[in-house]
Structure 1
Amino acid sequence: MARVLMLIVLLMGGTATSQLPEFSQQYRQRLGGAIDALEEILADFNRDAAQHGMSSAEAIARQKASEDPFIRARGDSMLNAEIRLSRLKQQQSEYESAGPFERLMIFARGFDSQLAQATAEDYEPAVPVTVAGFASAGIGALAGLIVMRVLVGIARLGRRRQRQNG
């Protein structure tokens, strides 16, 4: 029974982690779309600021200094959009120069939570036919094996103590 359970855990762990490269790929595709959208929003904002003789930073500072709470909130939103765009562009640059395994590490190290959530909502699993997919499956299976070995060891230890006491 323990061997069957172990096999199930190995398969589940391997299957789950084999999806990491595909999830990362779908995240990268959304990353480009998010960058495009933020660039468009900020270009419009910068154009409006320039028409009124201000830089982007001056326009944001003016909004944040406003007594109108809505205008202040818009200033915060624009500043956050600039910061997020910079962060996403940096991540995209890292992805472009990385290999398949390194991309997984880049994602794990600093994904954008909004983007990851949107990716998860629309995620479509794929059969892993890449080296990274197979390696991820192997890592997941190995992790499952280790967890099962530890749990089986704990269960055996508990049974031994019961026999000694009973």
Structure 2
Amino acid sequence: MEETENIFLALINQHKGIIHKISKMYMNGAEEQRDLFQEIALQLWKAYPTFKGNAKFSTWMYRVCLNTALIYFKKENRKVDKTPLDENIDVIDVNESTEKEEKLAYLYTAVQELNVIEKALIFLFLENQSHREIAENLGISEVNARVKLNRTKEKLQFIIKKNGYEF
């Protein structure tokens, strides 16, 4: 059991950025993000025995994380307020430029206006997933993934422009 736990923890540590990004996309406040992060970690641990290694761990993890975020979001009937992100949230590494930090904060704020499926699409796109991989992770056809992603990118561009966050 201890060996399984150590392997799991090493894999989670290696891919924890996935959990952080999903938490930031689905929750606005720092406390809500931490709660979702913990819920995702718990669900990953519960689901870990089902990981058979047929796919990469990160692919399996994307699916569990996104499903957990969707369920968590719906279960809590959360209404995302559209206030700017808390300035104390570590959006990116301290070594990055202030300008890049501001742009990323604008992006996360704009993403808060997307629905839960659109957030998943943008997240997977930002993770450099192919249309095929996005389709597999969301359980839709590749054509549907491509169409939905294009519409979501257009919507996100509109939100960014509407909020005066043009880059």
TM over 0.5: no
* Length-normalised TM-score, structure 2: 0.27
Bigger Rg over Cα: 1
Higher RCO structure, 1 or 2 (CA under 8 Å, sep 6+): 1
